[in-house]
Amino acid sequence: MLECPINKTERKTMMYLILRETHYEGIDNSYDIEDFTKDHAKAVEKLQGYVLINDRKDRSYSILKYDSPLLLTKEVA
């Protein structure tokens, strides 16, 4: 059996992704990672900046909170 230690002080994998969505007609929209940071306040500031300078009506920006999966580190008998 695998042990999955959960220690919140060791877990610094949380990230905030700034996503750019490009809207199309007739096909699915595309999503690209425009930027990222580990600081929520900075992510909000970056999002506001991207929204402010966006001059295209077919693009929008959003924040996605990303937490990478836990890695199993030890096998327990």
Residue 9 has pLDDT above 50, yes or no: no
For 43, the domain range is 2-75
Give tens-digit pLDDT for 23-58.
Answer: 999 999 999 999 999 999 999 999 999 999 999 999
Residue 13's pLDDT band (cuts 50, 70, 90): confident
Strands 59-67 and 74-75: unpaired
| Number of compact structural domains in the chain | 1
Residue 19 has pLDDT above 90, yes or no: yes
Cα distance from N-terminal residue to C-terminal residue, the chain: 6
